[in-house]
A and B are shown apart, each in its own frame.
Chain A
Amino acid sequence: MTNETLTVTELNAYVKALIESDDILSGISVKGEISNFKAHSSGHLYFTLKDENSLIRAVMFRSSASRVAFVPENGLKVICRGRVSVFPRDGVYQFYADAMEPDGIGSLYLAYEQLKNKLAAEGLFDASKKKTIPKIPSSVGLITSPTGAAVRDMINVTGRRFPFAEVVLYPVLVQGPDAPRGLIEALDYFNSTERADVIIIGRGGGSIEDLWAFNDEGVARAVASSHIPVISAVGHETDFTICDFAADKRAATPSQAAEFAVPDTDELKIRFQNVVNLEARYIVSKISSLREKFSALSSHRSLTDPRTLIDERRILIDVRTERLGFSFDKVLSDKKSTLSSVCAKLETLSPLSVISRGYSAVTDENGCLVKSVDQLRVGETISFRTGGGEADAEITNIRKDG
């Protein structure tokens, strides 16, 4: 072998075979920090694992990557399980990871934190998005397992407090890989059928793995986008799930969820009585305000002493009569002076006044007023009007000006 000359391909294949024959390298855990992380569209993950002094290129194929609960990212300290092999094309050895765990904390815990931060950043948990739980629902939708203590508590508490509300149970699996799909379907069902005025979604206590369906991103989004208000009751008081944050209200237990969902009949009756009392108060205040108005009016002077009113009117009439007389006199004298000035103006415009000053008005045979010698012919008979009457004349000669 030492004297043989190999091709590059042969060399890389030899090294690959050598490394892959090693028992330790074919099943090993390595811990380091992720850098140069790249999630390829094929689903494979490419990254580098490094510590203070060294690094190794790593790849995780899609089938393994899909089993990682959290989202790997740069800077994250992880423990990867897998094998070391050679990538013959590039002549590099690298780590082929089959499994990945966060170093120091649980994988699910990290996934939970990551999703919570992501959805919070999107505003999915904003207080402004929370819908009000109806005060008096006629129907309560339950999304939970049909067996177990949780559903019993929900039904019993609802029935004890407010039997009037109908309870509609959508039975679902509350754990296992199919659970999220069922929870989402149930939320969709109530939202599309409007079969409930309020929804309780939840389950009894369990391990973080048991409750995991309620930390599913799809479930959280379905809860947040439900237009029917959702009360979340998952596990015990100390268990917080993403579903709790996305819901309009979180209940510590299934029983408490039922208390939030429906009113207590006895309290409701007291509230009704309060409404009646309130109405009665309105009536009483209405009557007393009317009474006040009435007494103010009835004590008015015009009612207690009707004569005053008549006297007042009389004075008013006198004042007005006086004012009327005065106005009439003024109107009359104004008219008189207007008339005489109009008469004077008329006088100056009258043709008679012109004639009295020695002028005559001449008309032709047709009776038209003659204003120029151009209108006249020699021999034509004209009439002229002067002081005291009219006279006819014949034109004997025409002399134009100029």
Chain B
Amino acid sequence: MAVKKTEDLSFEEALKRLEETVKALESGTVPLEESLKLFEEGVALVKLCNGKLDEAEQKVRILRKTEDGGIVEEDMD
């Protein structure tokens, strides 16, 4: 599996990575150089998450029943 670059991660993926970096650092078994890298990554991940939060505009969708009994999504004003 190819490892995505930090800036390409989705908000959820970034959160997951952030959790993993903290867990790895918490374990105390990561060599110093690697932990510095993890820390750097953690900072980048937080920046990414904050950026995504700042950019976010609420999206509201409404579900509508179609004649054949299916359900479609539409934007709600």
Contact = CB atoms under 8 A, between A and B. Distances in A.
Interface of A: 136, 138, 146, 155, 158-159, 162-171, 189, 265, 268-269, 272-273, 275-276, 278-280, 282-283, 286-287, 290
Given A171-B64, A272-B18, A279-B39, 5 more contacts: A146-B62, A166-B61, A167-B59, A169-B62, A282-B35
A170 B22 contact: no
Given A170-B63, A282-B28, A276 B46 contact: yes
B8 interface: no
Interface in B1-54: 11-12, 15, 18, 21-22, 25-26, 28, 30, 32, 35-36, 38-39, 42-43, 46, 49-50, 52-53
A189 B69 CA distance: 12
Nearest to B11: A164
Q: Which of A171, A272, A283 has the most CB of B within 10 A?
A: A272
A163 B57 contact: yes
B14 to A, nearest CB: 10
Given A275-B22, A280-B39, A136 B15 contact: yes
The 10 lowest CB-CB distance pairs between A and B, nearest first, are A159-B58, A164-B56, A282-B25, A163-B58, A272-B46, A163-B56, A167-B60, A279-B42, A169-B62, A166-B59
A172 to B, nearest CB: 10
Interface of B: 11-12, 15, 18, 21-22, 25-26, 28, 30, 32, 35-36, 38-39, 42-43, 46, 49-50, 52-53, 56-64, 71, 73, 76
Contacts of A170: 63
A269 B57 CA distance: 17
Contacts of A273: 46
A166 B60 CA distance: 6
Chain A interface SS verdict (over half): helix
B50 A272 contact: yes
B42 A275 contact: yes
A353 to B, nearest CB: 77
B53 A164 contact: yes
B63 A169 contact: yes
Contact of A189 (B42, B50, B58, B63): B63
A56 B42 CA distance: 80
Given A136-B15, A164-B11, A286-B32, A268 B53 contact: yes
A275 B18 contact: yes
B20 to A, nearest CB: 11
A135 B8 CA distance: 23
Nearest to A140: B60
A159 B60 CA distance: 9
A289 to B, nearest CB: 8
A283 B36 contact: yes
A279 B21 contact: yes
A54 B36 CA distance: 89
B57 to A, nearest CB: 6
Contacts of B32: 286-287, 290
A268 B15 CA distance: 11
Nearest to B12: A138
Contacts of B12: 136, 138
A293 to B, nearest CB: 11
Given A166-B61, A167-B59, A169-B62, A279 B73 contact: no
B30 to A, nearest CB: 8
Contacts of A146: 62
Give the most central of B12, B46, B49, B60: most A CB within 10 Å: B60
Contacts of B59: 166-167
A198 to B, nearest CB: 14
B58 A169 contact: no
B22 A283 contact: no
